[in-house]
Amino acid sequence: MRTLESLLLLANLLALCSLAIPRWRHARWRRLPAIVATAFAFAQLAMEGPRWQMVPTYGLTLLILVISTVRTFRLAGDASVRGWRTSITIGIGAAAFAISAALPVIAPVFSFPPPSGPYAIGTLTYHWVDTARSEAFTAATQARRELMAQVWYPAHADATGHRAAYLPDAGAVTPVFARIHHKPAFIFGHLQYVKTNALPSAPAANDTLSFPVLLFLEGATGFRQMNTYQVEHLASHGYVVVAIDQPGVAASVVFPDGHQMDGLNLAQFQATVGPSYLPRGPGSPRDGTPVPPGLAPQGGNIVTYLAGDVAFTLDRLAALNRADPNGILTGKLDLQRVGAFGISLGGIVVGEACRREQRLRACLMMDAPMTTDVVRAGLRQPSMWITRDAASMRLERQRAGGWSEAEIEAHQTSMRAVYEGLSGAGYFVRVPGMFHSNFTDIPSWTPMASLLGIAGPIDARRAHDIVSAYSLAFFGRHLGGRPAELLDGPAKLYPDAVLESRVR
């Protein structure tokens, strides 16, 4: 909870005690706790902002103030109030307090762990238009492909300022995210108050001439900030991380001129992307996935189309490195050391992009099957997969639904097929007990994630630590030229992570 939220809950508790404890009820200062609680309520609303989880708390504050006022001025009926009525009032107040204390804890305005690397983190956001490609996810034939890209980069360790918002466009994005996932529109509204460790437009660190670059691709119905825990970890250790909000993939993308483009829902993704890795029948894979009819006049494969965003982004980064309009990243991008990583659909697209794009020197796919094309052609770059076993996928199906046997089989076998066919270094990391959301920030949204079946039985923070540690070790070895003992065998720190490696 935020500071004033905690203080308001404490003030309400003290005010309830002043109503319940006989000695306090007759003290001269008996109205003071209610007044203090009311003052904290107004301060919290003004300084931190309201959220629906605090509505019972606000209501309790008002109730306490009314009861306190009635008792003080002996309004009609006050003198005849019996002990049992007082007990009922106190009981209702206690129940209301329990509810008001629980909701902000269940859906907190959470914080990200402080960066573990030597650098502070800066962030910038860019809007890029690919005039050479039509927009595949709209019927408007003249629309060009637009991307929003957020960059996190190493900043001076002593950089200061206001921390960047987790979701700057939360008011527009979270209702769409909720609708796609069949949740009430208001349920994720509090994410607008979450802050990250990044500082907008902070000066870039100058102890190194340039930094290796990593591209991050979101999962279906997500948003570019979905893996902030991982992105910030990498940026604090000396990487420039560029997260691409891909229209059609993201729940919704908000552009600088205010227009908004909502993405496909999960059923549509399954219909359009699933056939690129799911077999048509025993031993009979499909060769590609058409873009939804009427959306892309140029036709083609949707995964290939999305991989085109990666190539375009690499072109834009080259231009940015020559002349950043913000005057911060010019010359700071080492485009000879570029890698990519993605989760779910983002991981599928990373696999395809790495197959097609040799400017990508290291590839990390997280909990994502590989397309038939990637299985057939293989990958030439050093590659890592971080995923979980089939038993964990079945447990997720049992608790939350989804994950048919065909999907589980394709998921497990396609990743392993590409891994075993690598011509260079490869790593296959499985973490039992992880669910799909454990690879993202989602378990940080509520401590109830595991109980609700959203996250797996593994501790959420530990799952993030494992993913971050293996990501850093992989890119450190293959882009940074640094030793990575974590990749050499079983890790004492992470005995629950099962590592296989192929070094040629």
Torsion of CA 130, 216, 164, 202, to 10 degrees: -80
What pLDDT, in 10s, does the model give residues 207-235?
Answer: 989 999 999 999 999 999 999 999 999 99
CB–CB of 446/106 below 8 Å? yes
**How far apart (Å, rounded) are the C-alpha atoms in residues 334 and 332?**
7
- Give, in degrees to the nearest 5, the angle at Cα 382 between 381 and 388: 120
- Burial classification of residue 407, based on how many CB atoms lie within 10 Å of its CB (0-12 exposed, 13-18 middle, 19 or more buried): middle
**Arithmetic mean of pLDDT over the chain:** 90
Strand blocks (E) in 156-266: 199-200, 211-217, 240-245, 252-254, 260-262
Identify the CATH class of 120-502.
alpha beta
Closest CA relative to residue 362, chosen from 482, 226, 183: 482
**3-state secondary structure (DSSP) of residue 328:** coil
What pLDDT, in 10s, does the model give residues 264-310?
Answer: 988 888 888 888 888 764 433 344 444 444 444 344 578 999 999 99
**How far apart (Å, rounded) are the C-alpha atoms in residues 299 and 276?**
15
Q: Nearest 5°: phi and psi at 254?
A: -105, 125
Taking 70 as the pLDDT cut, the residues of the chain under it are 25-26, 71-89, 280-300, 504
CB–CB of 362/474 below 8 Å? yes
Q: Tell me, what amino acid is at 484?
A: A
Cα 350 from chain centre: 18
Instruction: Determine the pLDDT at residue 77.
Output: 47
Residue ranges per structural domain of the chain? 3-106, 120-502
Instruction: Determine the pLDDT at residue 358.
Output: 93
Instruction: Determine the pLDDT at residue 73.
Output: 58
Instruction: For residue 14, give Cα distances in angstroms to 18, 25, 79, 104.
Output: 6, 12, 24, 19
CB–CB of 180/222 below 8 Å? no
